[in-house]
Chain A
């Protein structure tokens, strides 16, 4: 499965590149990622949250990069869901913004994991990556993922429709947090 998405962020390419290149930032805006841990100059360990309540983990390696322009990576070893990704940072015509172009490719296996992954992405797999990039834009342009009363859990807002009503959260709801 190949997913592509693009957005324009009103920050210069070196800044957007630097944010992405610190791979530990990715879970702040990518809904399915729990954690990315840098393990070396080009290597990292990724933890994704999986629909059957169990995390999927893999190691990844940057296989090609050109500072301020592009980063390409792939999973290594015996990943449950082998995957590769690439991101390009292209100066926008306005002279101040950056076009971010992302491609993610998942090799969906057969069996239970494959079914679970397919279910996780649902009928509109592109929507998730679009929303991920929307949040990347929010984080870089405004400092945070924006929250509302109807969608209070930031990147976990996905799949919340029908949402909770647009009225403030109770203390109990706030305490329970996104997993309530």
Chain B
């Protein structure tokens, strides 16, 4: 089959690789009909996540048709022919974390848990196409994928919704939604979202459906801000205005009640010397993150507010504003998304027309064009917001 693979830093390559096979009894093989490039794939390609290897198949947002199931898959849960969206965390459904619906912290799905534990203190779940630290599982930017614990994660799509309407249930829609849900949104809340990429856009839409009074989008790309504005959110361009002053203006001096970091470890900064500080420290690996969005979110949030982090971090960061956090009674909440928890309720919201996930798709390419898709997305060319690949 064809698959898009990691070929070293800043390089992806579509290659011919063997077809996947059942390795565990509860596996299924899925013929992929749609897959996507995620912002977190860029962290892998840019070389900020350790334990990548030449030839690793990328991709953790995919859906398709079940063509084979292992003998341990309960036919009541999944059968050949089912149309499914596959959540990016691989979760056993039986351990303590899964029982608490903390699926991205599954205690059993990562064969390389020992390595993850050294890095994070405790291990994390396996993830498709996302380094060997999260298990060394082949990803879904391919024609076929093996899906472990297939009787736990995959969501069956039984209505006639298009792939484009449901594909993002695999990651970015639940991730954005969890970012908003962690904010415990009240009807009087102003919610500010750093990052108007795909996850940020969905965090904004989710904040709106959860009842926020106003949603603010912070980014520097005019086309991304226009996209947010068209969806009813208030744009703030950090290259044109001072973010803190603008947020104070927009909130009568209070600051946003809830702040969402949908940027993560590769933030850019309007102020050159701070950007350079983090860039240099990151380059020499004395810090692994460029956490500018997170710092600004903490400093901007009103006292007693919530800062919700869904942007990806991998290691250590500098100059964490602990004083603002502690003295102003801020709550910091975070997590890799527990996708399985949100798939069904969000599918229902899509069916009811409350959220339209297709609004962020700007490019649909053949799998063969994955390399071009990565370039468009990474360099924000051609107003690229989200690339869907068709195997």
Whether the Cβ atoms of B114 and A142 lie closer than 8 Å is: no
Q: Determine which of A8, A151, A157, A166 lies in contact with B139 in the assembled complex, contact meaning CB atoms within 8 Å.
A: A166
CB proximity to B under 8 Å, residues A121-136:
127, 130-131, 134
Whether the Cβ atoms of A166 and B132 lie closer than 8 Å is: yes
Inter-chain CA distance A131–B303, complex, in Å, is 44
**Nearest CB on B from A147, distance (A):** 4
Q: Which residue of B lies closest to A131 (CB)?
A: B114
Asked if B251 is at the interface of the complex by the 8 Å CB criterion, the answer is no
Number of inter-chain CB pairs below 8 Å: 123
Inter-chain CA distance A144–B54, complex, in Å, is 29
Whether the Cβ atoms of A146 and B24 lie closer than 8 Å is: yes
Stretch in B88-96, B214-222, B233-241, B364-372 with 4+ CB within 8 Å of A: B88-96
**Nearest CB on B from A43, distance (A):** 33
Whether the Cβ atoms of B111 and A147 lie closer than 8 Å is: yes
Question: A35-69 vs B: 1/0 string, CB under 8 Å?
Answer: 00000000000000000000000000000000000
**Nearest CB on B from A157, distance (A):** 6
Inter-chain CA distance A102–B26, complex, in Å, is 29
A94 contact set on B, CB distance < 8 A = 96
The answer to whether A166 and B136 touch (CB under 8 A), given A10-B96, A148-B126, A149-B146, is: yes
The answer to whether A165 and B111 touch (CB under 8 A), given A142-B92, A146-B24, is: no
Asked if B55 is at the interface of the complex by the 8 Å CB criterion, the answer is yes
Inter-chain CA distance A50–B67, complex, in Å, is 41
The answer to whether A151 and B138 touch (CB under 8 A), given A141-B94, A163-B132, is: no
Question: A77-112 vs B: 1/0 string, CB under 8 Å?
Answer: 000000000000000001001000000000000000
Asked if B279 is at the interface of the complex by the 8 Å CB criterion, the answer is no
**Nearest CB on B from A15, distance (A):** 13
Q: Determine which of B25, B54, B96, B114 lies in contact with A165 in the assembled complex, contact meaning CB atoms within 8 Å.
A: B54
**Nearest CB on A from B202, distance (A):** 27
Inter-chain CA distance A141–B53, complex, in Å, is 30
Asked if A152 is at the interface of the complex by the 8 Å CB criterion, the answer is yes
Whether the Cβ atoms of A137 and B107 lie closer than 8 Å is: yes
CB proximity to A under 8 Å, residues B150-202:
none
**Nearest CB on B from A158, distance (A):** 9
B18 contact set on A, CB distance < 8 A = 167-171
Whether the Cβ atoms of A165 and B55 lie closer than 8 Å is: yes
B112 contact set on A, CB distance < 8 A = 148, 150-151, 157, 163
Whether the Cβ atoms of A167 and B99 lie closer than 8 Å is: no
**Nearest CB on A from B98, distance (A):** 9
B95 contact set on A, CB distance < 8 A = 10, 137, 141-142
Whether the Cβ atoms of A150 and B135 lie closer than 8 Å is: yes
Central interface residue in A127, A144, A174, by most chain B CB within 10 Å: A144
Question: B102-143 vs A: 1/0 string, CB under 8 Å?
Answer: 000001111111110000000000100100100111110000
Whether the Cβ atoms of B53 and A166 lie closer than 8 Å is: yes
A contacts, CB < 8 Å to B: 8, 10, 94, 97, 127, 130-131, 134, 137-138, 141-144, 146-152, 157, 161-163, 165-171, 174
Some 18 contacts from A to B, beta carbons below 8 A apart, are A137-B108, A141-B94, A142-B149, A146-B92, A146-B109, A146-B111, A147-B23, A148-B111, A148-B126, A148-B138, A150-B111, A150-B136, A157-B112, A161-B115, A167-B138, A168-B18, A168-B20, A168-B138
10 tightest A-B CB contacts, nearest first: A150-B136, A165-B55, A151-B111, A168-B20, A166-B56, A147-B23, A141-B94, A149-B138, A168-B18, A170-B18
Given contacts A142-B92, A151-B111, A166-B56, 7 further A-B contacts (CB under 8 A): A94-B96, A141-B108, A146-B24, A146-B109, A147-B24, A150-B136, A166-B53
